[in-house]
Chain A
Amino acid sequence: MATVQANRAEANGEQGPGTFLSFLRQMSKNRLGVLGALLVVLVFASAIFAPLIITHDPIRIMVGPRLAAPSLDFLLGTDQLGRDTFSRIIMGGRIPLLVAFASLGISLALGLVLGLVAGFGPRWLDNVLLLIFDTIRSFPSIIFALAVIGLLGPSVTSIIFVIATTSIPIYARVARTQTEALRNSEYIAAEQSMGAGTTRILAVHVLPNVIGPLIILVSMDVPAVIAVQAGLSFLGLGVRPPTPDWGAVLNDGYNYIKNTPWLAIAGGIPIILATLGFTFLGEALRDIFDPKLGKDL
């Protein structure tokens, strides 16, 4: 029994002690991955410690002149209402991260459950679920987002709802494929012959094998979610003013692009850094843990 356990742990990529060290060794060889990790840490740190970093109140108007260029007092200049752009950018990282984690967390959990059900349940249920997944998947997510936000009104909740809804089918499909492959394996048959119930098999034996690839997929989807959230804010369909948010700052910069380039640059750079950081990190994680994943998606 012990060897079976060990074999399975090996198949899962859990090689016991030293795994984390070997992960760090592999990671440090991947220069883009290291850069990505640094950027991600920077984004998280600035969002978490935002209140300590900001130099002015991000929503107070006329703390300085309107549309000022960067200076020692206003590190990234000011916007059309005389608000400090640097403070708005630092505070503005909180909403994209919140949206990314809330929406991807919800879709990971629901996608996992639906995928397990589809992969392990009866054939007809699998077919019905697949039809629903494919329907949602083939619907353009931005158009869907616009339509739903047009109806629900712009808010962080609507954005989380839209992103979760459109991501669930992706994870569910991956979870389903993995579950179906495991379903016919010998150790599952052995469990069944020993009288283990479906719930026990799914929770104890299938779930640990399915969740790894899904978490890598989720980490690779973070930049896309940040892009959608920032994009909706850019269109004025995200957070309500005066809440600071990267997309909203970029939109201000776009509206006053003829007056000053600084606002547009200040709004664009954090979006670029965050999406690049999460992309490089996600690709590095995939290359280390599961090189084949995502190639056929």
Chain B
Amino acid sequence: MANNKLKKLTPVQQEYQRMALAKQPARKTLQNSLRAFLTGGLICVLGQAITKAFVHWGGMDEVKAGNPTVAVLILISVILTSLGLYDKIGQWAGAGSAVPVTGFANSMASAAIEHRSEGLVLGTGAMMFELAGAVIVFGTVAAFVVGNIHMIVKLAMGGG
């Protein structure tokens, strides 16, 4: 914990927090990174294979095959979530299965399943964005900001 956070605490609390931090088993960063690399990479390989399949058998070009590829990955993720497997993969793989689009699908599907008992409208409908909602909000805000910067830079370059 950062020192500025510790300043608000009493000396006894500060001392205990240092004790607790020393006892806290560290996350295995190297192992987690390797697993994330492996799993994330495998998901990408799978995506690439699906794209190739759409190009080869579906008569699409690489760009057109993008959307159906994402749809298939999402479908696989939702099925694995429903079977209760995705959370187990997530515990092993960490960011590897959380970062790709399959992780996003898992966050929505898991919330939808979880809140089904509270009804279709106020349960599944309202709560399925409990985790994904923030990603959409801040993703959109970030896209807006970046889009504006892009436009300004383009205008400035064009004007100059």
The finding on whether chains A and B are genuine partners in a shared complex, rather than unrelated, reads no
A contacts, CB < 8 Å to B: none
